Amino acid sequence: MTSLTALLCLTTFTNIVSSGAFPAVLPDIARSAALADWQIGIVAGAFGFARMVADIPLGLFLTRNLRRALWIGPLVLMTGGLCVTDSSGRIRTEPSVAPANPHRRPAGRRSLAPLVFAAGGLVALTYSTMEQFVVPLRGSREFGLERAGVARLFMVQQIFDIAALIPTGMLADRQGAARVLPGILLLMAAANAMIGFGPLPVVVAGCALFGLSMSGWMLPLTLLRRDTEPERIAWRTGLYRVCVDGGIFLGPFLSGVLGMRLAGLLPALSTTALAITALLMLTRARSSGTMAVHG
């Protein structure tokens, strides 16, 4: 099991390195290939589209073949990297199947699953919109940042994300994911608005707040696991991944279709949707007594 854990860590690391480097070079790719905004959106959204299509089949495969998949995955990743390298001449992804949680939703309590699906999809949509389109293109076109300047914005985000990961996890363990997640969504909504509409100093602060909010990106999956019977974990997780990867695809794709003239529309809509989802989760949790239940 130790070797499989090490392999999973290595695979996750390589995914994060490659996906993290992409946004910084996106403006250069767009300029060198003379891509229109809608074409940039397609290129940036291809990753999420491929995962969205594969989620349910992979979820069913992983139900009985998890160990085998951990060995096959790196080979597929390496093949994809070689294809990209040959043709030219990002998430950081989590395991799709989570173990059953003994602290499941008690019988008779209203499920938070619909809101959890919405939260996961919105987090992915907002994240991909910011990272794969708004930050690199606003930084390049509006603020005149070179590749290093765009990369520094993402460094700010990552530093705050890494710094907040353990504290956020500890807070969720003590207070319960149902109590922490609405705050995470509201924080992301505020950061989203700052990055989408603020001047450069506000964008920098927004990147910091966005990093803080991304430290809770696994909380929707925690709530989904708690509200799901063990025999349905793999199926529901696959459906959840469709929402998440659909958001990863739609964020840059819709941004590209809208173009820079209407680029603020998607951040405005996602900011509003995040805030509404957070308020609905708070209302549902209080009405059902979830706020008092650990996890």
User: Tokens in use for 46?
Assistant: 């291809």
pLDDT of residue 182: 94
- pLDDT, tens digit only, all 295 positions of the chain: 567 677 667 766 766 666 655 665 666 676 777 777 667 667 766 766 776 777 677 777 766 776 776 667 667 766 766 665 554 443 363 334 444 444 455 544 567 888 999 999 999 999 999 988 899 989 998 999 988 899 899 999 999 998 998 888 889 888 888 889 999 999 999 999 999 999 999 999 999 999 999 988 888 988 888 888 877 877 788 888 888 888 988 888 888 888 767 878 889 999 999 999 999 998 887 776 544 444 4
CA atoms of 134 and 143, how far apart (whole Å): 12
Distance of CA 34 to the CA centre of its chain: 28
Q: Which domains does the chain have, with CATH numbers?
A: 2-292 (1.20.1250.20)
pLDDT of residue 272: 95
CA atoms of 224 and 115, how far apart (whole Å): 10
pLDDT of residue 93: 33
CB 229: neighbour CB atoms within 10 A?
10
pLDDT of residue 280: 93
Radius of gyration of the chain (CA): 19
Which burial class, exposed, middle or buried, applies to 147 when counting CB atoms under 10 A from its CB (0-12, 13-18, 19+)?
Answer: middle
CA atoms of 207 and 159, how far apart (whole Å): 10
Which burial class, exposed, middle or buried, applies to 263 when counting CB atoms under 10 A from its CB (0-12, 13-18, 19+)?
Answer: buried
CB 283: neighbour CB atoms within 10 A?
12
At 117, the amino acid letter reads: F
pLDDT of residue 40: 67
pLDDT of residue 103: 46
List, in order, residues 6 or more apart from 132 with CB less than 8 Å away: 22, 23, 26, 44, 45, 251, 252, 255
pLDDT of residue 261: 76
